[in-house]
Amino acid sequence: FKIRGEEPARLSSNNDLIVSVYQNNSQNNRINVPARATIIFQVSVSVPVGTPVNHWGGMEVKAINDACPDGTISALLKLFVTDPSEE
């Protein structure tokens, strides 16, 4: 499977999200899943300096099957950008 993150236009006009995918604490945008297996992976999302704060955004994460594109699975991640000066 390839992991790809895309921002749905309906949630955010900010196209500058910084996305990393991790499996077993190692960054990897390509993950292999054996038949009938389950894996755990993490998607880390950050925003560049200057991004408007105190607003919601989102992105769609897709797992795309190389052998069968119809086997794509997706999840919508909702993001809230906090004001770092208020933390």
Among all chains, which residue has been given the structure tokens 């500058």?
16
pLDDT digits (tens, 9 = 90+) for 23-53: 888 888 777 777 778 888 888 888 888 788 8
Q: How many CB atoms lie under 10 A from the CB of residue 81?
A: 18
56-77 pLDDT tens trace: 878 888 877 777 777 778 888 8
Place of tokens 């991004």: 51
The count of domains in the chain is: 1
CA–CA gap between residue 21 and residue 27 (Å, rounded): 6
Query: Rg of the chain's alpha carbons, rounded to an integer?
Result: 15
Q: Do 41 and 29 meet the contact criterion of CB atoms below 8 Å apart?
A: no
Q: How confident is the model at residue 8 (pLDDT cuts 50, 70, 90)?
A: very low
Q: What residue numbers bound the domain in which 67 lies?
A: 2-86
pTM of this structure: 0.63
